[in-house]
Amino acid sequence: MKNEDLAEVVAIERLSFKAPKDESVFREDEHKYLVAKEDKKVVGYIGVEKIEGETHIINMAVRPDHRGKGIGKKLMEKVLNKKDVFFLEVRVSNLPALGLYEKYGFKKVGLRKKYYADNNEDAYIMRREPDEQIP
């Protein structure tokens, strides 16, 4: 992600989440984000960071009018590799995301109770081992 992508990333964040991250979070962590573009327009993003020897997928979103076109899959394929352990948290109600993550070898390994501050929804902790295949 480059500085000029910031406004579009924040717009996607606001369209995608009930409790969107503030622009300052993206600005501070811009080196952690990868964007997907179509016709020079940002249509999705994914954020990753290394934490204690594992790779954490911070968040991912695709513009609502571009969902179902494989953009999320392409973003996942860009960040996944066969050498790192990956983990993430996902809302228990986010069935499309759960399906995508499971397709890429993520397995539910725990539950964070009341993880999301906007509605106290639980989050699954999902983990992907290095030997999992990338479809």
132 has a pLDDT exceeding 80: no
Residue 49: what pLDDT?
95
Domains (range + CATH), the chain: 3-128 (3.40.630.30)
3-state secondary structure 30-74: HHHEEEEEECCEEEEEEEEEEECCEEEEEEEEECHHHCCCCHHHH
Q: Averaged over 110-133, what is the pLDDT?
A: 92
Please list, in sequence order, all residues whose beta carbon lies within 8 angstroms of the beta carbon of residue 34, skipping any fewer than 6 positions away. 1, 45, 46, 47, 48, 75, 78, 79
Strand partners, 49: 56
Look up residue 39 and give its two tokens. Answer: 């016709």
Q: Which residues of 14-29 are buried (b: 16+ CB within 10 A; e: fewer)?
A: eebeeebbeeebbeee
Q: What are 35-72's pLDDT values in tens digits?
A: 999 999 999 999 999 998 899 999 999 999 999 999 99
pLDDT number for residue 134: 73
Catalytic residues: 89, 101
Instruction: Quote the CA–CA distance of 109 and 111 in Å, as a whole number.
Output: 7
Question: What pLDDT, on the 0 to 100 scale, is given for residue 114?
Answer: 96
Indicate the DSSP class of residue 78.
Answer: H
Q: How many beta carbons lie within 10 A of that of residue 107, not counting itself?
A: 13
Determine the pLDDT at residue 30. Answer: 86
What pLDDT, on the 0 to 100 scale, is given for residue 53?
Answer: 87
Show the tokens assigned to 21: 């991250």
Answer whether residue 135 shows pLDDT above 90. no
Does the pLDDT value for residue 133 go beyond 80?
no
Q: How far is CA 64 from CA 48, 78, 82, 96, in A?
A: 21, 21, 30, 13
